[in-house]
Amino acid sequence: MPPMTDLKSLLPEELETFFGAMGESAYRARQVFQWIHEKDVSDFAQMTNLPLPLREKLSRTSLVTAATVERKLVSARDGTVKFLFGFADGEKVESVLMQYKHGNTVCISTQAGCRMGCAFCASTVNGLKRNLEPSEMLEQVQAAQRHTGRTVSNIVLMGIGEPLDNYENVIKFLKLVNHKDGMNIGLRHISLSTCGLVDRIDRLAAEGLPVTLSVSLHAPNDEIRRQIMPIANRYTVDELLDCCRRYEKRTGRRTSFEYALIRGLNDSPACAHELGSRLCGSLCHVNLIPVNEVKGKIYKRSEKVAVELFTKALESYRMTVTVRRSLGGDINASCGQLRAEHS
């Protein structure tokens, strides 16, 4: 029996090809695309403007990916909602819906697990199980809306997994979620986080997709970065920063540098000044994140005074610096923790 075709992962032109092979008109593809992406319908029986024989045939030959909610946690402090979603093969991923003044942001996963091996991250604990399909990324966005009644206006690809390690599927997801006949979420409202795959960042810059690049830097030099991020053995800090400048020049988009502050490792004023001297003059923003303490990991978050001194030192280089506001702290909203509990 041939495998079922996942229609949620198909772009409109691919749907037209699919329906054409069935002897159906192109407008059927447009109808189904709108049912799936704009109306969030996954049951063919509910696609009532399709003839009944076609709906029955689609049920035999294709599917529309839908996730089950394995767990849903709601923060009593700030309304943050954390989901553990399950897919048909039993793999589970996390998504977090956060409320800001400018709208609702959903943080989604791009892989089930991760093979990047960052020493302080819960997502890498059991390694990489598999890549997520475009439909499974999109389903996290739709399901977050479906189960909260909140409209998502911003997306961050900063959950479990390294987005650029699942390059083709991530690019397809971006095109699907941005499509005018679907969710129509602007690419400038989407941030993609990477640990620094230089070759893939260059490739992304050439795609013409104006997403915000968010780079997990976490150290001002190679010596410290190699202690906590295996990718630093492939690319130096200088190579990574040069790549980010190429991205900025080609896209006109500001790079956001994520910097997890780890007590006694990378949070000294000397580290701040070294970082400031490296980034000075770049079109960038630095987001400081007191590291989330993960069970089984040795790293501790920086003391409040250390965060303040680090911030002040960086600001002396006339760059935009923020300290990430902790959301969902009462529900372990940082990525990987909930999945690890259920693996």
Backbone dihedral region of 63: left (phi > 0), alpha (psi from -120 to 50 degrees) or beta? Answer: beta
C-alpha span between 100 and 80 (Å, rounded)? 10
In degrees, rounded to 5, the angle at the alpha carbon of residue 297 between the alpha carbons of residues 294 and 300 is 75
Residue 24 among the catalytic residues: no
Indicate the length of the chain as a whole number: 343
Residue 168 among the catalytic residues: no
CA distances from 343 to 116, 123, 140, 217, 325 (A): 19, 11, 19, 28, 28
Grouping H, G, I as helix, E, B as strand and the rest as coil, residue 86 is strand
**Which stretch of DSSP H or E encloses residue 191?**
strand 190-194
C-alpha span between 226 and 264 (Å, rounded)? 16
C-alpha span between 158 and 109 (Å, rounded)? 7
In degrees rounded to 5, what are phi and psi of residue 47?
A: -85, 75
- Active-site residue (options: 94, 136, 258, 274): 94
- Active-site residue (options: 118, 243, 271, 335): 335
CA distances from 273 to 43, 47, 104, 187 (A): 56, 59, 34, 33
As beta bridge partners, residue 94 has: 84
Q: Which residues are catalytic?
A: 94, 335
